[in-house]
């Protein structure tokens, strides 16, 4: 069995259920497991003895949209693409990725998917959960071939054709979701547990306003039959709150999900920025998780503070959503935005934020073998290079990581005992070729007349 030994000036371990930072330790990997954490140098087939490394459990990014992000990047900042300052979800992201997915060949879609996975890995994540249009099954191919731990979350919609008119008002249309459930089941049959078990699926009804009661109930029943997580966008905007209230007897989006039996420990509710304090108390009581993605909202002047959810007692994890998949950068944003929102320096501290993307994230998806460095755990690691001038000298590695670190400091990403990123580069493919193939495919989407109209109409 191949063995790998990695030296860390700091190793983030656990003792009595809490984080413990070890100084000058080795982590020994045997095959797909962590075999030991030792003071003395173990013998191994491959040894990484680099100075100034911080060895962390593999970081988990449980909400990202790397396909649509690659398509939309730099088109939607500074208010571009918004109508009446409404969300770009219905003006740009959903309509264009739908058209793009239909227009491109499987090879072109695969090229974009590879770029996305490359970006996620280089952002420091070993495990990701990616909700995406079910017309882009190539996300699974890219994830399997590139070696990341991947929970694919193909969308289900009752109204797959939701799009905003010239006034920014969303018009909902589409089928009842049965076709999406059939597709989801086919993808589950094909992909679940592929890649030596690294590939899994999550149930992913798109959002409360695009999924009706029957579809949401069916999603929950199927997910619970399979014992897999459920994730959906919840209270993303005030417009969504108004839509759900008018459709469903004044209920808030969280109350709507609770009415349907979805508000439970297996639910990862994404964003919740328009949730009331009462909604958050309800979510805490039900054991649901908030997936907090602060930076994508900061882009549009909206505060999504990690500390607000955590202070209501809701289990909260951090993901990057469809924008800039630098997980260290996102933790930094979570820290800063929480401090500004609460006018306090002590909220959303570094250990809490690191916990959210390691042990807490692992608990949410019921994978106690992930998110921890301990003998017997799965050999997923993120190794950060702390030798950069902005990180030396350093007295607290966790604070350094969250307040000063970013994706350019990622040294290694190891999944299932296999080194995928080394010295900051993906070592199983040509990064330059991957970027140019994806760029060519994305260019085709932006040649579409409706892509131009999204910004001028
Ligand atoms: Zn999202």
At 126, is the pLDDT very low, low, confident or very high (cuts 50, 70, 90)? very high
Burial of 432 (0-12, 13-18, 19+ CB in 10 A): exposed
How many angstroms is it from 22 CA to the middle of ligand 1? 35
Whether the per-residue pLDDT at 456 is higher than 60: the answer is no
The alpha carbon of 47 and the centre of ligand 1 are apart by a number of angstroms equal to 39
* Least-confidence region, from 81-90, 153-162, 420-429: 81-90
375 Cα–ligand 1 center, Å: 34
Mean pLDDT of 274-293: 98
Average pLDDT over residues 413-433: 98
Q: What mean pLDDT is predicted for residues 319-330?
A: 95
- CATH code of the domain occupying 59-364: 3.20.20.140
Average pLDDT over residues 36-57: 98
Query: In this predicted structure, what is the pLDDT of residue 89?
Result: 67
Point out the least confidently predicted range of 79-83, 100-104, 152-156, 331-335: 79-83
Return d(Cα 228, Cα 134) in angstroms, integer. 18
Cα of 63 from ligand 1 centre, angstroms: 6
- To the question of domain 3-58+377-426 being in CATH 3.40.50.10380, the answer is no
Residue 271 contacts residue 233 (beta carbons within 8 Å):
yes
Band (pLDDT 50/70/90 cuts) for residue 167 is low
Spatial neighbors of 285 by CB under 8 A, at least 6 apart, are: none
pLDDT of residue 174: 61
Question: What value does the mean pLDDT of the chain take?
Answer: 93
- State the distance from the centre of ligand 1 to the C-alpha of 250, rounded, in angstroms: 25
**H helix and E strand count, the chain:** 17, 20
Residues of the chain with CATH 2.30.40.10: 3-58+377-426
- Tens digits of per-residue pLDDT, 290-307? 999 999 999 889 999 999
d(CA 207, ligand 1 centre) in Å: 9
Residue range(s) of every CATH 3.20.20.140 domain in the chain: 59-364
Residue 76 has a pLDDT of: 76
Say how many Å lie between the CA of residue 23 and the centre of ligand 1.
37
Measured in angstroms, how far is the CA atom of residue 14 from the centroid of ligand 1?
A: 31
């Amino acid at each position: 069995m191949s063995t790998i030994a990695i030296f860390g000036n700091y190793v983030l371990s656990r003792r009595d259920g809490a984080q413990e930072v070890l100084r000058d330790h080795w982590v020994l990997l045997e095959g797909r497991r962590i075999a030991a954490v030792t003071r003395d140098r173990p013998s191994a087939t491959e040894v990484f003895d680099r100075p100034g490394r911080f060895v962390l459990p593999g970081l988990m990014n449980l909400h990202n949209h790397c396909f649509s992000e690659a398509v939309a990047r730099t088109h939607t900042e500074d208010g571009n693409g918004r109508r009446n300052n409404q969300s770009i979800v219905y003006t740009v992201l959903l309509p264009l990725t739908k058209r793009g997915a239909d227009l491109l060949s499987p090879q072109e879609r695969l090229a974009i998917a590879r770029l996305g996975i490359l970006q996620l890995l280089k952002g420091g994540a070993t495990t990701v959960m990616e909700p995406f249009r079910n017309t882009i099954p190539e996300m699974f191919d890219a994830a399997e071939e590139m070696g990341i731990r991947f929970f694919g979350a193909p969308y289900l919609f009752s109204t797959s054709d939701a799009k905003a008119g010239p006034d920014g008002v969303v018009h909902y249309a589409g089928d009842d979701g049965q076709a999406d459930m059939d597709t989801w089941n086919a993808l589950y049959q094909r992909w679940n547990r592929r890649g030596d078990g690294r590939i899994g699926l999550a149930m992913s009804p798109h959002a409360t306003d695009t999924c009706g009661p029957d579809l949401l109930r069916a999603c929950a029943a199927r997910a619970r039959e399979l014992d897999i997580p459920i994730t959906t966008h919840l209270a993303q905007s005030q417009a969504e709150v108004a839509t759900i209230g008018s459709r469903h007897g004044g209920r808030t989006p969280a109350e709507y999900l609770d009415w349907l039996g979805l508000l439970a420990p297996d639910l990862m509710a994404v964003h919740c920025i328009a949730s009331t304090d009462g909604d958050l108390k309800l979510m805490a009581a039900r054991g649901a998780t908030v997936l907090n993605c602060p930076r994508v909202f900061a882009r549009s002047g909206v505060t999504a503070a990690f500390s607000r959810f955590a202070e209501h007692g809701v289990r909260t994890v951090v993901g990057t959503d469809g924008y800039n998949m630098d997980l260290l950068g996102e933790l930094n944003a979570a820290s800063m935005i929480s401090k500004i929102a609460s006018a306090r320096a002590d909220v959303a501290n570094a250990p809490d934020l690191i916990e959210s993307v390691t042990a807490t994230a692992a608990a949410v998806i019921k994978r106690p073998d992930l998110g921890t460095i301990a003998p017997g755990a799965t050999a997923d690691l993120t190794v950060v290079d702390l030798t950069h001038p902005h990180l030396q000298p350093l007295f607290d590695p966790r604070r350094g990581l969250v307040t000063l670190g970013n994706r350019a400091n990622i040294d290694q990403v190891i999944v299932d005992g296999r080194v995928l990123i080394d010295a900051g580069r993906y070592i199983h493919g040509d990064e330059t070729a991957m970027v140019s193939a994806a760029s060519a495919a994305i260019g085709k989407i932006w040649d579409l007349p409706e892509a131009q109209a999204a910004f001028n109409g």
